[in-house]
Amino acid sequence: MNRVSDEIIITENLVYSYSSEDQEIEMQALAGVNLSIARGEFVAIIGRNGSGKSTLAKHFNALFLPTSGTVRINGMDTQDPRNLWRIRQTVGMVFQNPDNQIVSTTVEEDVAFGPENLGVPPDEIRRRVNLALEWVGMSEYMRHAPHLLSGGQKQRVAIAGVLAMRPKCIVLDEPTAMLDPSGRREVLDTVKRLNKEEGITVVLITHFMDEAALGDRVVVIDQGKIVMDDVPRKIFSQVELIRQLHLDVPQVTRLAHELNKSGVTIPEDALTVEELADALSGSYRESAVASYGE
C-alpha cells in the first residue's frame, strides 16, 4: 500500500542488531522503535552515547535495513529495493564530520555532485546549485576551495549538497559536534530557516540540549528504545528524569530548576533567556508588591 499520509517517516517495531561473528549474544542497538514524523516537523533526537541514535538515523534513508519491523519513508517500505532510489532522494543525510563529506575541489562542484549522480540535466543542476548555496548563505563562496572554509561553512556546503537533491526531509546526525560556537550557530540558523521557510522536514540528532530545544518536538532514546517524546518544554521540565537518562537540560532550564530549589518560585519550563528574565522580573515584582502591602 502506498497511501500518502501526513507522515514522512514511520517506524514500526523497528529492531536492529549488529551481527558479529565472535559474539554469541546479539546486542540489539534498536529494540522496538515506534516513531512517526510528520511532514514539515522539526524533530530533535537526543540520548546518551551508544543509545542507538545513529543506528536509527541510518534507517531513515535505507543505509540500514531493519532486522525486524518496518520503516516507511513517504509510504515506501525501505526493505523493497525498488524504492531505494526514491527513498534516497526523499531523505538527505548530513553527518558529523564536514571533511568526510567534501568530494570536490570547489564549492559549486561539491554541491553539484549529488544531482549529477541523479542524472539531472546540466541547466537544472546549475539552477539547483545556485539556489542551494543561496539557502545556506554560501553563494559568494561558490568558486572557493571547500577545504579552506571554516567548519561551519563546510557543514553549510554539505547541507547545500543535500538540498541540491531536493529532499523533502533532511536528517542531521550531530552536525555541530565538531564546530566552534559560531559554526554551531550558523548551521542551526540555516537548519531552522530551511524548516520554517522551505517546509523541509528536519530530524536533528544532537547532544547539545539548547539545540534540541529548538525542535517542535524532542524524542529521547535510551538503550535502543524511545523513552520520552514530547514538546521541548515538557521534556526539559522533567529535570530529574532527564538526569537519570544521563542527559542534561538546557542551561536556562537548569538555572530555573536550581532557583526553585533555593526558594525562588518561578515556572521551571523556561527555555530561553528572555522567558527566564520575564519569569524572574515577574516573581520579583510580586515579592515587591507583597512587601509594600505589609
Specify the residue, 9 or 171, whose C-beta has the smaller distance to Mg ion.
Answer: 171
Closer to ligand ADP by Cβ: residue 53 or 166: 53
Among Mg ion, ligand ADP, none, what does residue 199 contact (CB within 5–8 Å per kind)? none
Q: Strands 28-38 and 217-222, how do they pair?
A: unpaired
Q: φ and ψ at 138, to 5 degrees?
A: -125, 15
Q: How far is the CB of 11 from ligand ADP (least distance, A)?
A: 14
Q: Which of ligand ADP, Mg ion, none does residue 253 bind (CB under 5 to 8 Å by kind)?
A: none
Residue number, 53 or 166, with CB nearest to Mg ion: 53
For the record, the C-alpha cell of 100 comes out as 568526510
What are the residues facing 225 on neighbouring strands?
Answer: 222
Q: At 125, which helix (H) or strand (E)? A: helix 122-135
Q: How crowded is residue 198: how many other Cβ atoms within 10 Å of its Cβ?
A: 10
What is the total count of residues that contact ligand ADP (CB under 6 A)? 10
| Closest distance to ligand ADP from the beta carbon of 4 (Å) | 30
Residue 38 CB neighbours (<10 A)? 15
Indicate the SS3 state at residue 19: coil
From the CB of 53, what's the least distance to ligand ADP, in Å?
A: 3
203 is a site residue for ligand ADP (CB under 6 A): no
Nearer to ligand ADP, 43 or 129 (CB): 43
Considering only 8, 53, 202, 214, the residue that binds ligand ADP (CB under 6 A) is 53
Q: Are 206 and 44 in contact (CB under 8 A)?
A: yes
Grid cell locating 61: 534513508
d(CA 278, CA 27): 48
Of 18 and 85, which CB lies nearer to ligand ADP in the complex structure?
A: 18
Binding segment (CB under 5 A) for Mg ion, from list 34-42, 53-61, 77-85, 127-135: 53-61
* Minimum distance, C-beta of residue 71 to Mg ion, in the bound complex (Å): 18
Quick check: helix, strand or coil at residue 32? strand
**54 lies in the site for Mg ion, by CB under 5 A:** yes
Among 8, 10, 41, 55, binds ligand ADP (CB under 6 A): 55
Angle at 107 between CA 106 and CA 108, to 5 degrees: 95
> What residues pair up with 222 in beta bridges, in sequence order?
225
With CB under 6 A as the contact rule, which of the stretches 52-60, 72-80, 131-139, 184-192 interacts with ligand ADP? Answer: 52-60
C-beta separation of 248 from 48 below 8 A: no
Residues 228-247 that bind Mg ion (CB under 5 A): none
| The three three-digit cell numbers of residue 15, written as one number | 529492531
For ligand ADP, the closer of residues 51 and 153 by Cβ is 51
213/235 Cα distance (integer angstroms): 9
Site for ligand ADP in 11-50 (CB under 6 A): 18, 29, 47, 49-50
Radius of gyration of the chain measured on its C-alpha atoms? 21
Select the binding partner of residue 52 from Mg ion, ligand ADP, none (C-beta < 5 to 8 A, by kind).
Answer: ligand ADP
State the residues that interact with Mg ion by CB under 5 A. 53-54
> Can you give the binding site for ligand ADP, defined by CB under 6 A?
18, 29, 47, 49-55
